[in-house]
Structure 1
Amino acid sequence: MIRNRLLSTTILIAAALSACSPSPETSFANGREAFAANDYRGARVALISGLREKPDDHEMRVLLARTQIALGDGEGATSTLAKLPKEMTDRPDVAAVAGEAEVLRGQYDKGIALVDGLETGAADRVRALAYIGLGEVDKAAEAFAAGAGRAAPDASLLASYARFSLLQGEAAKADALVGRALKLDPRMVEAHLVRADMRLARNELPGALASFDRVLELHPANFDGRVGKAEVLISLGRLKDAEPLAASLSEEAPDEQSVIFLSARLAGKQGDWAKVRSILQPHEDELRVNPVVTALYGRALIELDQPAVALGVLEPSLKRHGGSRALRRLVVRAQLASRDPAGALATIRPLASRPDATPEELKLASLAAKGAGSDGAASFEKRLSTPSPEWIGGELAKADRALRNRQWSDAESLYQSILTRTGGENAMVLNNLAFAKQQLGKDSEALDMALRAVKLEPENASILDTAGWMLVQSGSKARGLEMLRRAAKLDPDNRTIARHLGQAEAS
């Protein structure tokens, strides 16, 4: 009796679920909505459900193929399209979808053949991507240019053309193409990703972060958007913000090279060199082609007191990338740790002889010269105490760039190094160092630096603004107001000073 009751219950549940399942039309509508929202996984589920009930709905099948392409599944898209009748596959828009699926599968010639004779932007894009896969860059450029010049250009082509132009070093062209793509489709994820990469190429980290945030607003699961955002967060020193992103990516795609490097880089920034080694060691051969990854792995080995192993990793990379100062410094560190000062001196000399040699390079040269018994050690030490104009100019440029990028720790370190080596009497360096320290929560040190800057240049409006606003924030309102009012008189058109003065007077 109990058994019969259970069987009846199962039948009732199945009937209820069947009654609640959406109609094919509803599934198609849900799939279209999810696709438009860049929710490709949700779209795939809805469309597969709809096609199960209505397998002859050709438009739904085409959208499923487009969804599979968006998910990087060229094989699945090709299989989906194979079930369409010939009158559908002959349609130009469907042929372009089929061509893109073949390109994803690495079947570049098939992709070109499928769009042969078609004069549309989507077909031009397939041709261009296929030619890139075949290594025929000039033909790819021609196909992109043809598509961009059409009366009704395709937004996806413009975004792909922008990325192609960026990789060819044509930044201004890429910028214009992205602008055109986003004008046609403001929600195009690929265009926002290209804009993020353009900003990264210009080292505009806050702008790049904003672009990656826009990508994830449009498509929260976007893989490239999550990797890109995590990379920028690490560059900005926001390691706690990067951690959950890196963890989820490692769980999702543990063998993806970009994720492996991301996890290792995060561990390196946290000073966990044993973790860096454990992450990179299983992938040593694949990742050695990237000098940045090689440098990270080599440093981990040095920090873990394995200099001989580090040399085995670093020296071949330095031969391939001889212009990398970071790699050369690491090789020298490993040579010194391996008790080869003569070799270290020969390796570091090209850097230490430069007028813009860094303190680290001069210190390494001095150590190597002393160990090798060379009389050049005194010269390196003298230069260490007397910074060259070339070094000062280079460090100021790096420090200012770090400040613009909100890389507060890097800015603090760079400005502090300049002050230490130049005697600490540069008002603008003190001012900028004060600002960086304030962003790091070092309020007392920041105020001290800002007031030192005011003593050096009491009529500089920007310096007065920095110190005055810090005084107001620290509770010394009267003194801060006096400085802000002087700053406003000196530079009445400065909006930042006017805002600070207005907020201080209203508080």
Structure 2
Amino acid sequence: MTPSLRLALPLAALLALAGCGESPEALLARARESFAAENYQKARLELSEALRERPSDRAMLALLIDTHLRLGDPDGAEGAVRRLERVGGAAPGRIKAEIALLQGDAKAALALLGKDSSVDGWRVRAESLVALGRPDSARDAFEKGMAAGGGARLGAAYGRLLLLNDDLQRAASLLKRMEAMAPGSYEALVMAGDLATAQGNDDAAITAYRHAIQVFPRRTAPMLALANQYDALGRVEEAVKLVEQAGKIAPTDPEVEELRFQLLSEQGEWEKIRRELQTRESDLAAGSALSMTYGEALLRLGHARQALVIFRRAALVSPGNRYARLMLGEAHLAAGDAQRAWATLAPLAETTLARPEVLERAEQAASAIGAPEASELRARLDPVRLKATMALVDQGEAALSARNWADASSIYQRLLGRREDPEVLRRLALADSRLGNADAAVRHADRALELGGDDPDYLYMAGMVRLASGRNPGEARRLLEAALAMDPLNPVIARELGKARAAAG
């Protein structure tokens, strides 16, 4: 989001503030109250108005810098630092380090921090280490920050690292510490929801996010998190209401927009999607969620050739995106090119885990060109056989989502008994890795790679299980580098590669 968009505010709010006639002292007091209540947009407005009367006030400028940082606006913070320096003030290295970190320069952030041992210093240091792919060093910095006094912001950043690394036991312990040191804070409330989500406890997650929305009604993150919970549970209308509520608060937030269009697609509002996105088609990044939603809208409305262009680009940019490949195959079918449709869909249909919609489209393409695989696909689509297979597939997915690794391993072993399948092997490798069965995890991941070829998902898993076991970090790095070269926009692969590079030295 550009700085100009971050600063966009309703004209009525500006006029109301400008005409209030309050003194700079009163506005500063109100800004401090707004900041303490975590209403940073309001604090920024109040400070901006106060600084019109006292442009050289160092206390106001210092608070404005912190406000910009809380809003994730490094450009605004940098501008406020320059204003502070022009009037003889100075921002500590920690402030400049945080600006550098928000601007994407983690190495500069570490250099600017020096030996800063404040809580915020440890937080920025830890987040910089995360950005540099050094999670173990980051965890050590976070723990030192907690020992130095902790705080909600440091705890929230630490919690994100633990949840990303699936360290749910440590995340639960951290949440208790956060609730003790910052009870009722926004960060603790949201982390409670995030942890419950990671644990597969939908009811607890919904309760936590509702509580966060009630206490902090101007924050959109818990609204979107709750909307995603509702969406996953099929409660689409409730999700839509939350996204509309978030849109009134942050109309230019890309996450709000992305989820709104996703929900519109689930409701089949294809014409509305096409109408709203067609003027922006050239600006939609290839493979992005909005681009894919727009492509599906075109396909559903009968514009197969336009959709082909969009999904072809998406498959090139993100070859590991199976949805993009499915939609590309369907677009080929709709455009009358069954040969290309079969070439695209056949690899997706090979796995035992293939969903009915994949099997149906693959069978259509195979039948259209007389491929011998058509008869087997029809057999797999037999309702009785399909129901039994999908029940087992769903159980496996549920076990993975709930981090129930023992059940997941058992289920995928059963599926593997039906046919040696790289997708089943990939999931089995993950479950065994999480159970600490390193030899089995590496064996299954390598076999998946052997069967599936140089697919980024199989390369990733073969590297990840080696990295998790602590063995052969050089080979883990090589495999992950190969995976990222094939799927360069994949953030999960990039994150694991950062860890592997740090481990390999």
Could you tell me which residue of structure 1 aligns to residue 300 of structure 2?
303
Choose from 176, 179, 184 the match for 1:182. Answer: 179
Does the Cα contact within 8 Å between 1:96 and 1:126 map onto a contact in 2?
yes
Q: What amino acid is aligned across from residue 387 of structure 1 in structure 2?
A: R
Q: Distance in 2 between matches of 1:350 and 1:105?
A: 41
Cα deviation, residue 251, structure 1: 6.1
Could you tell me which residue of structure 1 aligns to residue 117 of structure 2?
119
Q: What amino acid is aligned across from residue 44 of structure 1 in structure 2?
A: R
Cα deviation, residue 387, structure 1: 1.0
Cα deviation, residue 163, structure 1: 1.3
Does the Cα contact within 8 Å between 1:342 and 1:372 map onto a contact in 2?
yes
Choose from 285, 288, 294 the match for 2:286. Answer: 288
CA 1:266–1:83 in structure 2 vs 1: closer, same or farther (change >3 Å)?
same
Could you tell me which residue of structure 1 aligns to residue 210 of structure 2?
213
Q: Distance in 2 between matches of 1:342 and 1:179?
A: 57
1:84-110 alpha-carbon deviations (Å, 9 max, x no partner): 5899747xxx55345324433556566
Cα deviation, residue 368, structure 1: 2.3
Q: What amino acid is aligned across from residue 62 of structure 2 in structure 1?
A: V
Could you tell me which residue of structure 1 aligns to residue 263 of structure 2?
266
Cα deviation, residue 273, structure 1: 0.9
Could you tell me which residue of structure 1 aligns to residue 329 of structure 2?
332
Could you tell me which residue of structure 1 aligns to residue 73 of structure 2?
73
**Aligned runs of 1:202-281 on 2, under 5 Å?**
202=199, 204-247=201-244, 249-250=246-247, 256-281=253-278
Does the Cα contact within 8 Å between 1:125 and 1:143 map onto a contact in 2?
no
With the length of structure 2 as denominator, give the TM-score of the two structures.
0.63
Cα deviation, residue 272, structure 1: 0.9
1:400-438 alpha-carbon deviations (Å, 9 max, x no partner): 9999xxxxxxxxxxxxxxxxxxxxxxxxxxxxxxxxxxx
Could you tell me which residue of structure 1 aligns to residue 12 of structure 2?
none
1:208-231 alpha-carbon deviations (Å, 9 max, x no partner): 433333333333222333333343
Q: Distance in 1 between matches of 2:400 and 2:129?
A: 38
1:114-161 alpha-carbon deviations (Å, 9 max, x no partner): 4312212211222333455xx5222x7525522423532322222212
Q: Distance in 2 between matches of 1:208 and 1:283?
A: 36
Could you tell me which residue of structure 1 aligns to residue 63 of structure 2?
63
Does the Cα contact within 8 Å between 1:265 and 1:276 map onto a contact in 2?
no
1:434-475 alpha-carbon deviations (Å, 9 max, x no partner): xxxxxxxxxxxxxxxxxxxxxxxxxxxxxxxxxxxxxxxxxx
1:240 alignment partner, SS class? helix
Does the Cα contact within 8 Å between 1:311 and 1:334 map onto a contact in 2?
yes
Larger radius of gyration: 1
Q: Distance in 2 between matches of 1:367 and 1:394?
A: 23
Q: Distance in 2 between matches of 1:108 and 1:382?
A: 55
CA 1:188–1:269 in structure 2 vs 1: closer, same or farther (change >3 Å)?
same
Matched, 1:347 2:325: no
Q: Distance in 2 between matches of 1:363 and 1:45?
A: 56
2:385 alignment partner, SS class? coil
Matched, 1:146 2:132: no
Does the Cα contact within 8 Å between 1:159 and 1:177 map onto a contact in 2?
no
Q: Distance in 2 between matches of 1:203 and 1:323?
A: 25
**Aligned runs of 1:78-157 on 2, under 5 Å?**
78-82=78-82, 89=90, 95-106=93-104, 108=106, 111-131=109-129, 135-138=131-134, 141-150=136-145, 151-155=147-151, 156-157=153-154
Percent pairwise identity:
29
Cα deviation, residue 338, structure 1: 1.9
CA RMSD of aligned residues (A): 4.0
Cα deviation, residue 66, structure 1: 1.9
Does the Cα contact within 8 Å between 1:144 and 1:157 map onto a contact in 2?
no
Does the Cα contact within 8 Å between 2:345 and 2:358 map onto a contact in 1?
yes
Does the Cα contact within 8 Å between 2:287 and 2:313 map onto a contact in 1?
no
Does the Cα contact within 8 Å between 2:230 and 2:239 map onto a contact in 1?
yes
**Aligned runs of 1:38-49 on 2, under 5 Å?**
38-48=38-48
Matched, 1:359 2:350: no
Could you tell me which residue of structure 1 aligns to residue 456 of structure 2?
none
Aligned residue pair count? 380
CA 1:25–1:324 in structure 2 vs 1: closer, same or farther (change >3 Å)?
closer
Does the Cα contact within 8 Å between 1:277 and 1:300 map onto a contact in 2?
yes
Could you tell me which residue of structure 1 aligns to residue 32 of structure 2?
32
Q: What amino acid is aligned across from residue 33 of structure 1 in structure 2?
A: E
CA 1:391–1:324 in structure 2 vs 1: closer, same or farther (change >3 Å)?
farther
Cα deviation, residue 253, structure 1: 5.2
1:374 alignment partner, SS class? coil
CA 1:283–1:28 in structure 2 vs 1: closer, same or farther (change >3 Å)?
same
CA 1:356–1:387 in structure 2 vs 1: closer, same or farther (change >3 Å)?
farther
Unpaired segments ≥5 residues, structure 1:
1-16, 404-507
**Aligned runs of 1:440-455 on 2, under 5 Å?**
none
1:334-366 alpha-carbon deviations (Å, 9 max, x no partner): 222222223333333334343344333333333
Choose from 137, 143, 156 the match for 1:159. Answer: 156
If asked which structure has higher relative contact order (CA below 8 Å, sep 6+), I would say 2
Unpaired segments ≥5 residues, structure 2:
1-16, 403-505
CA 1:75–1:359 in structure 2 vs 1: closer, same or farther (change >3 Å)?
closer
1:346-398 alpha-carbon deviations (Å, 9 max, x no partner): 33333434334433333333322321123443333233224164433123566
Q: Distance in 2 between matches of 1:316 and 1:303?
A: 18
CA 1:322–1:62 in structure 2 vs 1: closer, same or farther (change >3 Å)?
closer
CA 1:113–1:326 in structure 2 vs 1: closer, same or farther (change >3 Å)?
closer
Farther off after superposition, 256-265 or 50-59:
50-59
CA 1:325–1:204 in structure 2 vs 1: closer, same or farther (change >3 Å)?
farther
Could you tell me which residue of structure 1 aligns to residue 392 of structure 2?
393
Q: What amino acid is aligned across from residue 36 of structure 1 in structure 2?
A: A
Does the Cα contact within 8 Å between 1:366 and 1:377 map onto a contact in 2?
yes
Q: Distance in 2 between matches of 1:68 and 1:53?
A: 20
Q: What amino acid is aligned across from residue 41 of structure 1 in structure 2?
A: Q
Q: Distance in 1 between matches of 2:149 and 2:271?
A: 52
Q: What amino acid is aligned across from residue 132 of structure 2 in structure 1?
A: E
Farther off after superposition, 223-232 or 79-88:
79-88
Cα deviation, residue 271, structure 1: 0.7
Cα deviation, residue 286, structure 1: 4.2
Does the Cα contact within 8 Å between 1:192 and 1:214 map onto a contact in 2?
yes
Q: Distance in 2 between matches of 1:287 and 1:196?
A: 31
